[in-house]
């Protein structure tokens, strides 16, 4: 008997949870992770496919492809079938096509930050192809986005944590992919998430916002300042520290706005609002190429693509979400 999703996971969601990858109320069914064989045997079970971080999409709406667990494409996958949870139609797994090595030919854009190239597996129909998640993330349904972000992050963790950090022996996947166990020293290892603060820093009157750009970013690309939390640090302290280190701005009150799983490879973006008590910018050139205060009017122009120096924030990222809602006075 399948347990229903926890009550309150969809109804009553805050507007802030509508950010891309913000969740869909997926029943992750953690109680089934130890019973992989029975879940794999469910005739309704389906699998989503990842290859080198890309997702297999298909169909008229180009949503995530879901294939039966005996589909020929899985002949090119590794042994792990990561159990993601119970979808409306049954169990959902994810697999990595670790053994597929196609000839990429002259695809010069392959592996780029916003890789526009697509790849086709010979066992799939013509419209099915692998696409970079950053490119397709705003086109996915909330459910597909949650599945994609979870699968990409956990499978990437398995790929980079194959050996025990305690004794160095090769570890084994366990609990349907939600744990690795060392056969030699008995240590358990669990998927990690790296917390990152990203800050909507406003001037004292609330009419200007602080943005910056890192060296090497495309021309005109600016975003909100962000950085990793350090051990022993609160979210509020991290927000103040990062803004001061990168731009020399002193921040007073800090509050929480929204969070976003960011599977590149395994971060949780913690969106905060902060109120500056100073305005003179002193750049750390190792972190930022430029930082500036931008008025609400100019940020509206940038959002429309009409600003001569600042391009719109990338749609789908939490920076875009926070800026868009600040401009619309819909932050909650």
The predicted-structure confidence for 64-89, as pLDDT tens digits, reads as follows 999 999 999 999 999 999 999 999 99
Q: What is the pLDDT of residue 60?
A: 82
Q: What is the pLDDT of residue 14?
A: 83
Q: The domain 15-160: what is its CATH number? A: 3.90.79
Q: What is the pLDDT of residue 1?
A: 38
Give the pLDDT band (50/70/90) at residue 38: confident
Q: The domain 194-327: what is its CATH number? A: 3.90.79.10
| Burial (CB count within 10 angstroms: exposed 0-12, middle 13-18, buried 19+), residue 278 | middle
Q: Considering only CA atoms, which of 188, 316, 185 is closest in space to residue 263?
A: 316
Whether 207 shows a pLDDT value over 70: the answer reads yes
Domain regions of the chain by residue span: 15-160, 163-191, 194-327
Q: What is the pLDDT of residue 35?
A: 84
Give the pLDDT band (50/70/90) at residue 295: very high
């Amino acid at each position: 008997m399948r347990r229903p999703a926890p009550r309150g996971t969809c109804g009553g969601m805050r507007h802030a949870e509508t950010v891309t990858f913000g969740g869909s109320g997926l029943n992750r069914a953690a109680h089934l992770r130890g019973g992989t064989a029975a879940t794999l045997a469910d005739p309704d079970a389906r699998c989503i496919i990842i290859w080198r971080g890309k997702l297999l999409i298909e169909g008229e709406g180009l949503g995530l492809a879901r294939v039966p667990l005996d589909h020929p494409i899985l002949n090119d996958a590794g042994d792990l079938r990561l159990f993601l949870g119970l979808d409306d139609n049954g169990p959902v797994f994810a697999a990595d096509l670790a053994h597929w090595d196609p000839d990429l030919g002259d695809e010069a854009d392959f592996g780029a930050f916003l890789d526009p190239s697509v790849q086709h597996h010979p066992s799939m129909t013509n419209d099915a192809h692998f696409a970079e998640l950053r490119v397709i993330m705003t086109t996915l349904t909330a459910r597909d986005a949650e599945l994609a972000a979870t699968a990409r992050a956990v499978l990437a963790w398995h790929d980079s944590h194959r050996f025990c950090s305690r004794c160095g022996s090769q570890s084994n996947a366990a609990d349907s992919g939600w744990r690795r166990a060392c056969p030699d020293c008995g240590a358990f290892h669990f998927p990690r998430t790296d917390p990152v603060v990203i800050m909507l820093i406003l001037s004292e009157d609330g009419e200007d916002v602080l943005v910056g750009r890192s060296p090497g970013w495309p021309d005109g690309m600016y975003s909100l300042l962000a950085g990793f939390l350090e051990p022993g640090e609160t979210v509020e302290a991290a927000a103040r520290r990062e803004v001061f280190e990168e731009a020399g701005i002193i921040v007073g009150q800090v509050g929480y706005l929204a969070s976003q799983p960011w599977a590149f490879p395994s971060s949780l973006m913690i969106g905060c609002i902060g109120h500056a008590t100073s305005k003179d910018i002193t750049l750390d050139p190792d972190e930022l190429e430029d930082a500036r205060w931008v008025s609400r009017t100019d940020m509206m122009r940038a959002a429309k693509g009409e600003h001569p120096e600042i391009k719109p924030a990338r749609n789908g990222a939490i920076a875009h979400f926070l800026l868009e809602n600040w401009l619309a006075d819909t932050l909650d």
